Structure 1
Amino acid sequence: MFLKFSLALSALAIVGCQAAAVTDTANQDSAFSKVKVTETVISQKITKEVPFMPPLMIIGNNNGSITRCPIDKPNSCEVFHTSPCHSNVTSTVVYGEYLYASLESGIMLRCVWQRRHSCYEFNQAGTKISGLAVAAGYIHAGLKNGTILRCELDSPHSCWHFADVPREILSFAAFDSHIYAGSHAGHIYRCWLTEDRDCSIFYENGWSDVYGMVRLGEKMYGLKYAGAIHYFNMDFYQQDYQSIGLSGNGYTSMALYNRKLYIVLKSKGIYTNNLGSESVKLIAVNENAVSISFTYGTFGIQNQYRLEAKKCIYNDGIFTCPPTVVYYDVRSRAQWEVSVKNGSLYDSQGVILDTSDADENYSQKAAIFVMGPDGQILVSKFHKRGHTHTSSLLAGNEVAGAGLIVAEQGKIRSITACSAHYRPDVELNSQVKESLYVKGYKEDFYSYPCTYSAELCEPVDVSNIY
């Protein structure tokens, strides 16, 4: 099952194709430029102005392009990437500072998600890739022939065989300790992420292909191509399900944002669906849309900390060599990730989260945390000047939330916007609540500004950086 094989492809396979026309997004690009999303700053919310990116809708198109649009301006999009080949962008997923995309041609791309035209070939499967999911410190790809590949997050052409299902994979998702593969004829298969077990049927309904899957708490929602959303409890196999009927057919992708479903309808555009409703509402016309995903709003690190991971810093003709702050790369962050099970928080080792044993040096019995653009929440009970800070957990990249967290026996007592490196505010940290709600955490908790420890939020001059 785990026999490794190299999946290399000459770059000529990409550059040899004629450039794809993207006239459908040319006007959108112009409209996006007018709103200047990439230049927006929250000058009143963050003392040192740093780049702010609003929540984004990321669209994969059938002409090989990827476009992105502000959630509140779904028709004001920009072209993020243009592929030379006219191959459907079947799936996109953001993880940390990267966006991974799959093409129907079998190519997987990796991009810096905040930087346009930064994509490059990351892996080549040799056959259609229909879904991507990050879990257990790897990215997984679902293929047309039913194969599931597991790939290193930071190593191009590093995929190897992980598991198989007996049908073509059409959609793909990772929840907790499992990978779920939606396939032809309404089947969903479930495979263990950490144990050498065969995949098994989790759900079956023989009348329509499964083209999308999302999780909300303990329920999974599966999108049928023919126009229905089935949902059921994730704890049981072969269970009864409930169904929401949708008008029309040709639905190809679904994502969840802010407790609302966003659905791609082939040759039409992007629709929304309020959970439980049988109606859909058109919010963006896009005849080329195939797939959809989201990012939360993010803000960057304060300027004076941007060189903190360097061994020596040059400032006004003087070299300063402070202790080097540790930055965890995209592969090693899984050790800090927290998950929700049965309504409580657990660390990456499956131990219920409790910060009462966090070090007291700078965090006052709280743990430091950040949230990534995809909603991944990383928590560390170790906080040491010159070694581990909030900036360490996502390697100084943009975050959707940051500060201190107090938890007792898996329950959050408070989060506080105390991070000198990111200087978030309470409003931005509210995104943490939304991400936890999606994962199944229903209890309310307080979110405070940083007032009780001014030292934690004071900017530090680069010459005295710690």
Structure 2
Amino acid sequence: MYATTPLRPEFRGEHLPGNRQGGDKFVRYLRVEERDPYRLFAHDGLLYTGEQRPLDTTHTRTLWTPQGGRAVFVMDEYGWFYASPYHLLGEFHHSSLLAGAPVAGAGEISAAGGRVVLVSDHSTHYGPARRFTRQVVDSWRDRGSLSIIWTSSTTARPIPNRADRGCGIPAGYTAAAADVGCRSFADVRSRHPAC
């Protein structure tokens, strides 16, 4: 089981009519039996949706990235991932996916054809510390497959792409050293041999 972080206190009760959001809006919380279409599965280095399609966020957008290309995701205490292309203010948030339960990771994901291009820790509802985001990456790496190109909700300094050195980062992308707790590319190489 993975360590978790709770829903921030100001969002408790957001799913109830008459909550602090005002008006007649309330956040939808998925019941357990509604979650399967949102579940992600890793297979042969790619992520698939609950509908067995390669995850593709090309035409999705979040409140954090209105220009598009990302979906919201959470990881539960058991390492299951859920993602949604819907992120609607006052209606559907990270908290919707696990009905406000604590998460082992939360943020945004960008993928094309099942290949993960970017992961972030952008989640106002959970505000996950960097260690939770590391759990996300570690869980994917433990499953033996995914090359992840990092971003973060904090300012991160880009480091050179070293795909030519066999680090697993696809050619043409960069990683951000700050997102894995590293200050330089050399630090990334020493702490993360896969990079």
Please give the alpha-carbon distance, in whole angstroms, between the structure 2 residues aligned to 1:437 and 1:327.
29
Change (3 A) 1:402 1:360: closer
1:303 match: 9
CA deviations on 1:275-297 (whole Å, 9 max, x unpaired) are xxxxxxxxxxxxxxxxxxxx101
Q: Percent identity?
A: 30
1:358 match: 60
For structure 2, the 5+ residue unaligned runs are: 157-195
Match of 1:402 among 102, 106, 119: 106
Please give the alpha-carbon distance, in whole angstroms, between the structure 2 residues aligned to 1:309 and 1:447.
29
What is the CA-CA distance between 1:392 and the residue it aligns to?
Answer: 0.3
1:340 match: 42
Please give the alpha-carbon distance, in whole angstroms, between the structure 2 residues aligned to 1:410 and 1:342.
10
Change (3 A) 1:376 1:303: same
1:99 match: none
Letter in 2 for 1:310: L
1:331 match: 33
What is the CA-CA distance between 1:329 and the residue it aligns to?
Answer: 1.3
SS state at 2:109 partner: strand
SS state at 1:378 partner: strand
Equivalent pair of 1:347/1:353 in contact (CA under 8 Å) = yes
Please give the alpha-carbon distance, in whole angstroms, between the structure 2 residues aligned to 1:370 and 1:348.
14
1:423 match: 127
Equivalent pair of 1:371/1:401 in contact (CA under 8 Å) = yes
Higher relative contact order (CA 8 A, sep 6+): 2
Equivalent pair of 1:426/1:449 in contact (CA under 8 Å) = no
Query: How do 1:216-227 and structure 2 match up within 5 A?
Result: none
1:389 match: 93
Equivalent pair of 1:425/1:449 in contact (CA under 8 Å) = no
Match of 1:443 among 147, 151, 155: 147
Please give the alpha-carbon distance, in whole angstroms, between the structure 2 residues aligned to 1:367 and 1:339.
15
What is the CA-CA distance between 1:424 and the residue it aligns to?
Answer: 0.9
CA deviations on 1:148-189 (whole Å, 9 max, x unpaired) are xxxxxxxxxxxxxxxxxxxxxxxxxxxxxxxxxxxxxxxxxx
Change (3 A) 1:429 1:362: closer
For structure 1, the 5+ residue unaligned runs are: 1-294, 453-466
The structure with the greater share of residues assigned to helix is 2
Please give the alpha-carbon distance, in whole angstroms, between the structure 2 residues aligned to 1:328 and 1:451.
32
Using structure 1 for the length normalisation, give the TM-score: 0.31
CA deviations on 1:288-332 (whole Å, 9 max, x unpaired) are xxxxxxx1010001101001001013x7xxx94440100001221
Letter in 2 for 1:413: V
Equivalent pair of 1:336/1:378 in contact (CA under 8 Å) = yes
Equivalent pair of 2:115/2:146 in contact (CA under 8 Å) = no
CA deviations on 1:243-296 (whole Å, 9 max, x unpaired) are xxxxxxxxxxxxxxxxxxxxxxxxxxxxxxxxxxxxxxxxxxxxxxxxxxxx10
Equivalent pair of 2:71/2:86 in contact (CA under 8 Å) = yes
Using structure 2 for the length normalisation, give the TM-score: 0.72
Letter in 1 for 2:42: V
1:151 match: none
CA deviations on 1:387-441 (whole Å, 9 max, x unpaired) are 1100100000000000111112212122111111001132211111122223332
1:112 match: none
Q: CA RMSD in A?
A: 2.1
Greater radius of gyration (CA): 1
Letter in 2 for 1:300: P
Match of 1:312 among 6, 13, 18: 18
